[in-house]
Amino acid sequence: MSLLTNAQVEGFKREGYLVAKGIIPERFVSGLRDDISRVIDKQADALLAEGKITELHRHLDFLHRATQLHAQSPDILSPLSHYAGEGIFRLITCPEILDAMGQLLGPEIVASSVYRIRPKLPFRPEGIIPWHQDSAYFDPFADGHLIVTCWVPLMNATVEAGCMEVLPRSHTQGVLRHYWAVTSAPGLSVHPDYLPETRPVPVPADVGDAVLLTNLTCHRSTENNSSLIRWAADLRYNGPAAGDYYPFEAQFLARSPSDPRKVLTEVADFARLRAEHVLPAPAVRRAWLKQAEETFIKPPPVWELP
């Protein structure tokens, strides 16, 4: 099914990103939020029993309750780091998302091992994520392949709440030089000398939207200056040829017209796959340093969309 218009596909190829407005049915977003609420419920009960919180705030809605509980104990969000429940599985395998991925990647679609729930805390410096390309975190053998990030807001992501910013057309230069930024939110950052001289574009998005990025598109996340935790999920997809470029977690086949029997369709199988994943033998990885000086391999060829 052609969910994206030809103009949208061409815009994605040209600019390196696309805000696909309203493509995700509300039930997939609310399903994930409900699942997260259940995880938080269980954790809140445990923290109350341990004396780490004193109020459960059950009368509040999802957005306000999570914020109030976190103010009592940051441990309220800890279980989400290994979350592999029904809500995220249903979102990853959302037919509308997979239809869009099919237009960008081709008919065979792998759901990347790299998915995350992103609770962005208000007025906290650790929520500021520097300019980076996702490929900087991946094994270099996948540099020549398109890996699409699908960033899904679970609430309206405004500029005030620290929505994503992108550098348009920055995906045409291969993997840029990065270094490990030792900040309140440690992570990879593009070396300032290699950051493209492009005007940043804020990308606000509403519930139901999907922000699509290439693995080579420079992007960052600014501070959340709202009063609530800003919730989002980021998912990634690629074709089978990209291989297992982030082997620390388990990927799976999400759509395959050629062999549908291999497609993962059950939540229990997904949870078991994630829980039982064994790290394979180490591959050749990049050796980014903690300062802005390192030897770097030459940029790979830039891929083309099918």
- pLDDT range class, residue 285, cuts 50, 70, 90: low
For the chain, the distance separating the N- and C-terminal CA atoms, rounded to the nearest angstrom, is 15
**pTM (2 decimals)?**
0.91
Give the integer Cα–Cα distance in Å for 290 and 305. 34
Are residues 239 and 233 in contact, defined by beta-carbon separation less than 8 angstroms?
no
Structural domain of 177:
9-25+107-275
**Range 182-187 contact pairs with CB under 8 angstroms and sequence separation of 24 or more:** 182/290, 183/125, 183/128, 183/130, 184/124, 184/125, 184/126, 184/128, 185/125, 185/126, 185/127, 185/128, 185/129, 187/129, 187/130, 187/132
Q: What share of the chain is helix, strand, coil (3-state, %, to 5)?
A: 35, 20, 45
- pLDDT range class, residue 126, cuts 50, 70, 90: confident
For residue 267, list its beta bridge partners. Answer: none
Per-residue pLDDT reduced to its tens digit, 99-125: 999 999 999 999 999 999 999 999 888
**Range 2-7 contact pairs with CB under 8 angstroms and sequence separation of 24 or more:** 2/99, 2/103, 3/96, 3/99, 3/100, 3/103, 4/100, 4/103, 4/104
Residue 81: its pLDDT value, please?
Answer: 86
Residue 207 has pLDDT above 80, yes or no: yes
- pLDDT range class, residue 289, cuts 50, 70, 90: low
Residue 303 has pLDDT above 60, yes or no: no
| Tokens encoding 155 | 């609430």
Q: Is position 61 within any domain? A: no
Q: Is position 52 within any domain? A: no
Question: What is the mean predicted confidence (pLDDT) over 43-69?
Answer: 94
Q: Is position 239 within any domain? A: yes
Question: What is the mean predicted confidence (pLDDT) over 246-268?
Answer: 95
Q: Is position 56 within any domain? A: no
How does 144-154 read in b/e, with b if 16+ C-beta sit within 10 Å?
ebbbbbbbbbb
Q: Is position 191 within any domain? A: yes
- pLDDT range class, residue 304, cuts 50, 70, 90: very low
Q: Is position 289 within any domain? A: no
Residue 287: its pLDDT value, please?
Answer: 61
Give the CATH number of the domain where residue 226 resides: 2.60.120.620
Residue 267: its pLDDT value, please?
Answer: 96
Q: What is the dihedral of CA 67, 68, 72, 75, to 10 degrees?
A: -40
Residue 150: its pLDDT value, please?
Answer: 98
Q: Is position 30 within any domain? A: no
Average pLDDT score over the chain: 90
Residue 127 has what DSSP assignment?
Answer: G
Give the integer Cα–Cα distance in Å for 194 and 176. 6
Residue 293 has pLDDT above 80, yes or no: no
Q: Is position 153 within any domain? A: yes
Question: What is the mean predicted confidence (pLDDT) over 279-297?
Answer: 54
Total length of the chain:
306
Q: HEC string of 232-259?
A: EEEEEEECHHHCCCCCCCCCEEEECCCC
Residue 136 has pLDDT above 80, yes or no: yes
| Tokens encoding 239 | 């074709």
Residue 301: its pLDDT value, please?
Answer: 40
Other CB atoms within 10 A of residue 290 CB = 11
Count of structural domains, the chain: 1
Per-residue pLDDT reduced to its tens digit, 155-204: 999 999 999 999 999 999 999 999 887 766 778 899 889 999 999 999 99
| Among 72-86, 177-191, 193-207, 256-270, the least confident range | 177-191
Question: What is the mean predicted confidence (pLDDT) over 236-265?
Answer: 95
